[in-house]
Amino acid sequence: MTLYGGQGDPARTMALLWRAHSPAATQATRPRSAPGPKQGLTVDAIIEAAIAVADADGMDRLSMRAVGERLGTSAMALYTYVPSKRELVDLMYDHAHAGWPQAPETGDRRAAVLAWADHLWDRYLRHPWLLQVSYARPVLGPNEQAVLESLLAILDGTSPQHLRAAVSALFHLVRGAAQTATEGRAAAGATGTSDEQWWTERSALLADLAPDFAQRFPHSTGLAGAPSGTGGYDPVSQARHALDGGLRLLLDGLLDG
Amino acid sequence: MTLYGGQGDPARTMALLWRAHSPAATQATRPRSAPGPKQGLTVDAIIEAAIAVADADGMDRLSMRAVGERLGTSAMALYTYVPSKRELVDLMYDHAHAGWPQAPETGDRRAAVLAWADHLWDRYLRHPWLLQVSYARPVLGPNEQAVLESLLAILDGTSPQHLRAAVSALFHLVRGAAQTATEGRAAAGATGTSDEQWWTERSALLADLAPDFAQRFPHSTGLAGAPSGTGGYDPVSQARHALDGGLRLLLDGLLDG
DNA sequence: CGACATTAGCTTACGGCGTACGGAGTTGTA
DNA sequence: TACAACTCCGTACGCCGTAAGCTAATGTCG
């Protein structure tokens, strides 16, 4: 299921997200000199350890205990820096969008949007756990904001009523396609069978269980039999292919319509 | 995070999904007469109880114990009928798509697609937990298949290379918009503040933490200030508005292009 | 009709999770 | 030097999914 973000104390979460940009907050969590032991960790170290765990073992295996262990301490040690796991996930999400490239200066909007989408696709495939964090919440952090800002810069001048729809649609398309791609990839990796083998087994099973499948679902049957373009059964290139086609349709309507 | 589906023993899962259509499988789980006590539950009763729990309390609160309690038994009693929670979620997902309307006979494709999307949007808003179940897995069950089939019937005749892209894009658009809508709705309900109040508080917080926001993100600032059309701050109508716009763009490219 | 094999229902228990609580130890300040 | 503030973290609680195995019910067969 989807992890919800943006909950918990909003002020605390926002302060953590914008801590690098805030004049009030220093990098350290607490005022420069206060009693008590030195802090042994930093929020950034925790975020990076958590991302490393999620990248390596997946979101299901991300636990406070696992992050603590990677840092050589316990789960509870993290709670000095981060209010809860949910806030940590929000921080991970924003951090994984860091270093977003500037929108190009060139006037070729179509190419610029395609490059933007390609970049986002790359992030998702590199950090598939991003797709398990809800993105429907409002943009909260500086790096997420930069992703949106770069798209808005590309689309600058589009009529406002088209703009909101186009922005939503572009995010949804890329995210949905990336989700199809990464889950297909994961399923293939988990079962150990090839993609083609997986489909033939599934088809045989279905033929047993629903002999009337072709009559009941003629169009689906036709689609399954139709040529799927390049890429064969590889779920990643199939999803990428569908994304490219969807983007073309959308941009035809947006830029040329 | 997103619940993955389609795992576990595929044959067992598929048999459960297609049990009503299969000639081999009767409605009962076991052969007609066998020793042992009568079965006190049915798979359907379990699925419906689970859906009721998810509808009422959300996916986070869906547990085998909760479903068992609703049925007046224990969590472990369910395992006679359902191999694991994951399979139960798959069954819930398919069941929630039951009763899908036939594609209309009329030739107005645009209207038919919009009606299809509207219907899907309704399902998602009625059962928001659907959006927390991964949809990137292959279509497995008869009811999910019917949803796809009805869209394919509407789009019959579209060139194959456009068809796959269009189908993916339509699903992604509706699902993404519905996710934005339901999560915004849930956030408002959880905090108890009005949508407008929520935004002003968030803006004030941001102004404190990132005073240079307007300089760093000029386009985002402009978008936030632009008129948002009808619906004001209500996240559901905002998301619906964006969906309608996205569909129009996509269908312009698909049907008129 | 009685013995038995089979099976459903359920209790108990295990290892995991997020995190509340509170004690121990460290440190700047008065 | 005493104190107060603070970090760190061990322990524990209440959840979760579900493995294992017992109990009791039931159809079949001698």
Phi, psi for B3 (deg, rounded to 5): -75, 130
Render pLDDT for B69-84 as a digit per residue (tens, 0 to 9).
999 999 999 999 999 9
pLDDT value for B237: 93
| Most confident range, picked from A205-214, A217-226, B167-176, B177-186 | B167-176
Q: Confidence class of residue B139 from pLDDT cuts 50, 70 and 90?
A: low
Higher pLDDT, B109 or A139: B109
- Residue A215 or A104, more confident: A215
Asked if residue A8 lies in contact with residue A16, where contact means CB atoms within 8 angstroms, the answer is no
Q: Which residue is nearest to nucleotide C5 (CA to C1')?
A: B35
The whole-number average pLDDT for the span A235-239 is 92
Average pLDDT, chain B: 86
Please say if the pLDDT value at position B214 is more than 70.
yes
Residue A1 is predicted with a pLDDT of: 44
Of A23, A243, A250, the CB nearest to B249: A250
Footprint of strand D on the protein (CB under 7 A): A 29-31, 34-41, 73-74, 76-77, 79-81; B 33-38, 61-66, 75-76, 79, 84-86
pLDDT higher than 90, residue B241: yes
Confidence of residue A25 (pLDDT cuts 50, 70, 90): very low
- Span B185-208, average pLDDT: 80
In 3D space, the residue among B185, B68, B62 whose CA is nearest the CA of residue B132 turns out to be B62
pLDDT number for residue B6:
45
CB B72 within 8 A of CB B146: no
Computed over every residue of chain A, the mean pLDDT equals 86
- Among B175, B183, B240, B254, the strongest candidate for a mutation testing the A interface, having the largest count of A CBs within 10 A, is B183
Distance between B6 CA and the closest CA of chain A, angstroms: 9
Res A10: pLDDT: 74
pLDDT value at position A257?
A: 60
Residue B20 touches partner A, C-beta closer than 8 Å: no
What is residue B103's DSSP assignment? P
pLDDT at A147 over 90: yes
Residues B120-138, mean pLDDT to the nearest whole number: 91
Residues from chain A that touch B153, judged by Cβ atoms under 8 A, are 219
Higher per-residue confidence, A3 vs A67: A67
Distance from CA of B232 to the nearest CA of A (A): 14
Partners of B201 on chain A (C-beta within 8 Å) are 10
Look at residue A135 in the predicted model and tell me its pLDDT.
76
Chain D nucleotides close to protein (CB under 7 A) are 4-11, 15-21, 24-28
User: Average of pLDDT values for A151-164?
Assistant: 90
Q: Which residues of A touch B137 (CB under 8 A)?
A: 183, 187
- CB within 8 A of B64, min separation 6: which ones? B75, B76, B78, B85, B88
- As a whole number, mean pLDDT of residues A85-90 equals 93
Interface of A with B in 130-149 (CB under 8 A): 131-138, 142, 145-146, 148-149
Cβ-Cβ contacts under 8 Å, A251 against chain B: 253
CA distances from B201 to A135, A138, B79 (A): 20, 13, 47
Which B positions 46-85 lie with beta carbon below 8 A of chain A?
59-60
Q: What is the pLDDT of residues B166-192, one digit of tens each?
A: 999 999 999 999 999 998 888 777 777
pLDDT at B193: 74
* C1’ D12 / CA B72, Å: 31
Q: Looking at the predicted structure, is the pLDDT value of residue B68 above 80?
A: yes
User: Which pLDDT value is given to residue A67?
Assistant: 96
A110 touches chain B (CB under 8 A): no
Contacts of strand C, CB cut-off 7 Å?
A 33-38, 61-66, 75-76, 79, 84-86; B 29-30, 34-41, 73-77, 79-81
Q: Are B84 and B8 in contact (CB under 8 A)?
A: yes
* pLDDT in the model for residue A231: 59
* Tens-place pLDDT, residues A94-132: 999 999 998 777 778 999 999 999 999 999 999 999 999
Residue range B15-41: average pLDDT? 67
With CA atoms as reference, the chain B residue closest to A148 would be B220
Mean pLDDT confidence for B95-106: 89
DSSP string across A178-196 = HHHHHHHHHHHHHH-S-HH
Please choose, from the candidates B45, B43, B49, the residue with its C-alpha nearest in 3D space to the C-alpha of residue B65: B49
B30 has a pLDDT exceeding 70:
no
Highest mean pLDDT of the ranges A31-35, A186-190, B85-89: B85-89
Interface test with A, best of B85, B139, B168 (most A CBs within 10 A): B168
- The answer on pLDDT for A27 being more than 70 is no
Find the Å distance, CA of residue B10 to C1' of nucleotide C6: 26
Query: B216-235: per-residue pLDDT in tens?
Result: 999 999 887 766 666 567 88
